[in-house]
Amino acid sequence: MFYSEMTDFYPCLGRENSTMVQRVCLTILLSLAFTLPAQADVLFEGYAKVLSGEEHIGYVISRYEFDAKKKQFISTYFLKTGKGPSETTESLKAYADADLTPISYEYTSLAGKESKIIDAKFKGGTLTGVIKNGNKVSRIEKKIPKGTFLSTFLVYLMLKSKEGLKSETNYEYQAIAEEDGAIYKGQALVGKEEIFNGFKSFKILNTFKDIKFLSYVNERGEVLGTNAMGQGIVTELVANPSEAIGNIPYSASLLKTLFGKVPAGDANVVSRNAKLKAAEANAPAPSKQMGVPQGQGIIIKAQPETEKKGN
């Protein structure tokens, strides 16, 4: 399905149906809820809406952190689409060291009565883990080639590379797809900078698991949007949670379990820019009653992070 195709920049997604399944989901998330470091710095946190054509079908919540004390990157991710029988849910919590070498991850997927859980750990260049598909349990153990990383951290690998994230660059890599624990070769072609929803971004054509999709990423590594080519499914980073969630089912308890608290979703350029514009619009105009001398009431507005308009 489309979601698994976009694991490099939006690493996991999933399915869920009925109150019973929600309880199952909560149990699963409780089992995988690592204790997050209290001092981890949030690199990115945001909500994105998922669209199929013009229809709003779901939302994505993503957070990236770096724990300076443990020297670890942390990726936490939650996605929900659909309603009723078509509800889908996926979640991911992944850890990597300062060089983005994998440490561990836990992935869940729920679809109706079907569930999938992967609990994987890495040590000495070897991946060991347990995969639960419903009542079926299997174990995996495999050697991991040097340089292999978890696909959720691709954008940070690009930022940390010798070239950095820049136009006209070709990144070839091999990464672990969190949804199946397998290793695949991939390629990310970075095009020229362009405007996406009013913000400067790099247009990246990514090929992973033999599937192509576009991502729009700014210089900070913030994913502003994605496009599953040929399928009409896109994601767009938005300024606030309500815009992403809409009338899609929402569970605060699940989010608190996975993220530690319900994410505010404001650690990104879209949210910051919206807050800046709102503050400017609500700022009172200087007047003589406020003690401003004539000719000194001119406001030089702070520039938003970008004011250019785009597609």
Q: Does residue 283 belong to any structural domain of this protein?
A: no
**308 pLDDT exceeds 90?**
no
The Cα 58–Cα 249 span in angstroms is 9
Give which of 251, 291, 234 is closest to 9, Cα–Cα: 234
Please report whether residue 99 resides in a domain.
Answer: yes
Q: Residue ranges of the alpha helices (H) in 112-268? A: 154-160, 241-245, 252-259
Among left, alpha and beta (phi > 0; psi -120 to 50; other), residue 59 is: beta
Q: Rounded to whole angstroms, how far apart are CA atoms 1 and 4?
A: 6
d(CA 184, CA 162): 22
Domain count, the chain: 1
Query: Is 74 part of a structural domain of the chain?
Result: yes
Answer yes or no: is 301 within a domain.
Answer: no
The answer as to whether 178 is a domain residue is yes
Tell me phi and psi for residue 285, to 5 degrees: -75, 135
pTM: 0.81
Is 299 within a domain? no
pLDDT at 18 over 50: no
Residue pLDDT, tens place only, 30-75? 444 434 444 589 999 999 999 999 999 999 999 999 999 999 999 9
The DSSP element (H or E) to which 117 belongs, if any, is: strand 114-123
Question: In this structure, what DSSP letter does residue 267 have?
Answer: B
| Helix pair angle (18-32, 252-259), 10° resolution | 20
Q: In Å, what is the CA distance from 56 to each residue of 50, 159, 242, 264, 282?
A: 6, 31, 12, 21, 30
Please give the Cα distance from 195 to 222 (Å, whole number): 14
68-107 pLDDT tens trace: 999 999 999 999 998 877 789 999 999 999 999 999 999 9
Would you say residue 282 lies in a domain? no
Give domain status of residue 298, yes or no.
no
Mean pLDDT calculated for residue range 147-170: 95
How many other β-carbons are positioned within 10 Å of the β-carbon of residue 5?
22
Give the three-class secondary structure for 232.
coil
Residue range of the domain that includes 140? 2-272
Q: Is 13's pLDDT higher than 60?
A: no
Q: What is the mean pLDDT of residues 248-260?
A: 95
3-state secondary structure (DSSP) of residue 14: coil
